[in-house]
Amino acid sequence: MSGADLERLTDLISTARRIVAFTGAGVSTESGIPDFRSPGGVWDRFDPNEFTFQNFMATEGGRRRYWELGRTTFPVIRRAEPNPAHHALVTLWRLGKLDCVITQNIDNLHQRAGLPEDRVIELHGNATRARCLSCERPYERERVQEWLEAGVAVPLCDPPCGGIIKPRTIMFGEAMPRREMEEAERRARAADLFLVVGSSLVVYPAAYMPLHARDAGATLAIVNLTDTPHDGEADLVIRGSAAAVLAQVTDRIAPRPASR
């Protein structure tokens, strides 16, 4: 990351009127949440083909296997705290620069950092919530975790329903949420600066969002540690940590008061 690139990103953000940020796993990893796809991640230890929506719905065994994984991964999400990247985006929202965040992440950290619910579009759902597929009763994932830790292998909705409980996350093979996808595309096309942060842009259809913005005339900036397939479409590409880059930019735009 060069000083010139950082200065240019600062200028782009300073002059933008409607920023849409698109965040991926690189933002979550800096809060201690492992990237499922990276070497040593969850899918190195579990076969993702076992955790499809079809397997979850088809058999109790499929649901039991899913909840075995969920019992071990949810505490990591529960312990995580927002990092400087999350807080920097909140700063941009408070300055009136940020329209919304479109996120692939499921950890609820954007909301915990201070972004309003209606400013976070979750394309892959939210791991801190669950619901009954029969009666639509909502459940906090924390309550389901208590059942799992008490020895319940396959949580079911409270009587008299007894329906299947599913986390509000999008599983492999499950349809993407239509309302969120349509809203994300609408917001992307209305942006004048589309800022990708911490996404490798390899998971579709979410990864089409930067292209929607670019096609509609937005400036495209990408901040990520590794190359992405859309780097050639971008006006600015910065190789760097999401937290470090965004924190430096917001410190330039809105310096924190000196401590006494």
In degrees, to the nearest 5, what angle opens at C-alpha 66 toward C-alphas 63 and 68? 110
124 is catalytic: yes
Residue in this structure with the two tokens 């942060």, named with its chain if needed: 197
Q: How far apart are the first and last CA of the chain?
A: 32
Which of 110, 124, 212, 230 is catalytic? The answer is 124
- C-alpha span between 14 and 260 (Å, rounded): 28
Task: Name residue 123's beta-bridge partners.
Answer: none
Task: Please spell the DSSP secondary structure of 75-137, one letter per residue.
Answer: HHHHH----HHHHHHHHHHHTT-EEEEEE---S-HHHHHT--GGGEEESSEEEEEEEETTT--
Residues with catalytic annotation? 124
